Amino acid sequence: MFSTKVELTNAVIKNLKNVPHYIVDKLHTWINRVEERGIEEIRSIPGFNDEPLKGKRKGQRSIRLNRSYRAIYKESKTQQEIIILIIEVNKHEY
């Protein structure tokens, strides 16, 4: 079984200063759950709406932090672990 590690890009760390605190809290909750239980188990939780993206973002996935905000991430595997790199947290435009 692989261990899972979640990393944030520098841009995400900087951007989180401008995001409401409850969104940051939900992102950290998701990160903790992923690192404890693994990404596959967390994907099955309907509340996060984890989904693959299409078009220019093919190969990336997103989770919903609330109705407006989402986090976009990429997944890679090494021989020992799965690395989740959060590349963007944004206010989703509908």
- Give the model confidence (pLDDT) of 40-68 as tens digits: 999 998 888 999 999 999 999 999 999 99
State the chain's mean pLDDT as an integer. Answer: 93
* Domain range annotation of the chain: 3-91
Give SS3 for 82: strand
Cα–Cα distance measured from residue 86 to residue 73, given in angstroms and rounded to the nearest whole number: 4
Q: Name the helix (H) or strand (E) containing 21.
A: helix 21-37
Q: 3-91 in CATH: which number?
A: 3.30.2310.20
Mean pLDDT of 25-52: 94
Give the other-Cβ count within 10 Å of 88's Cβ. Answer: 15
